[in-house]
Amino acid sequence: MKPTVMKALQEWKDAFDHLQESAVNALRLALPGLDHTKTSTYCCPVTLNISKPNDLGNGRVCVDEDTRATVELDDVPNSVIAEAVDAVFGIAWFDQADGPLEDAGPGTYSYDDEETGAEYEVVLGDNDTSTGRVYVGYVPVPYAAELLDAISTARDRQEQRATAGD
C-alpha cells in the first residue's frame, strides 16, 4: 500500500477513534452512572452499562460502528419516562398517545423516525410496578444524549420535589 494511502487511513482511524470516545463521553455525562462494560462479541464496539442499578433503572447503551446509539433501559419510573419524553419530543408525539404521556395509561408507545431510521419505544408499566422501559434503536448519538439527559434531569427534578414535599 502506498505510504500516502496508509497515512490517510491512519488519519481516518484516529478521527474515528476520537469520534467514538467523544460519543461515549457525551452519553456518560448525559446519564451519570453509565460506565464501560465488557462488550459481547455480537454487539457494538462500545457498550455502557448502568453501574448504579435501581437509581435510574437497569440497562445498557451501545454505540455502533456508525456512531449510532441503542439505549435499553428497564425499571425506569413511569413518571420519569413521561416527563423526559414529553420534554424532548413534545406532547402526543408518540403513536397511541393523544396527550402528555403523564396522562397516558400503561402501554407501549412508539415512534419511528423516517429521517434517521431510529426506532423509539417506551413502555409505561402498570400501576402496581410504576416502572417502565425505554428502548431507542439506531439513533444518532446527539439524540440519544438528549433523551438520556432528559431522563436524568426528570429524575433529579422529581427527587427534589419529593424532598421539598417532606
Looking at residue 40, its pLDDT comes to: 67
Distance of CA 71 to the CA centre of its chain: 4
User: Containing domain of residue 100, as a range?
Assistant: 3-165
Buried b vs exposed e over 39-70: b needs ≥16 C-beta within 10 Å? eeeeebebbbbbeeeeebbbbbbbbbeebbbb
Q: What is the model's pTM?
A: 0.89
Which pLDDT belongs to residue 83? 94
- In the prediction, which pLDDT does 61 show? 93
Place of cell 439527559: 149
pLDDT of residue 138: 92
Nearest to 54 by CA among 24, 28, 80: 80
- How many domains does the chain contain in total? 1
pLDDT (tens place) for every residue of the chain, 166 residues total: 999 999 999 999 999 999 999 999 999 999 988 988 776 666 677 889 887 666 677 899 999 988 899 999 999 999 999 999 999 988 878 888 888 888 888 999 999 989 888 999 999 998 766 899 999 999 999 999 999 999 999 999 988 888 887 6
Phi, then psi, of 114 in degrees rounded to 5: -70, -30
3-class SS at 113? coil
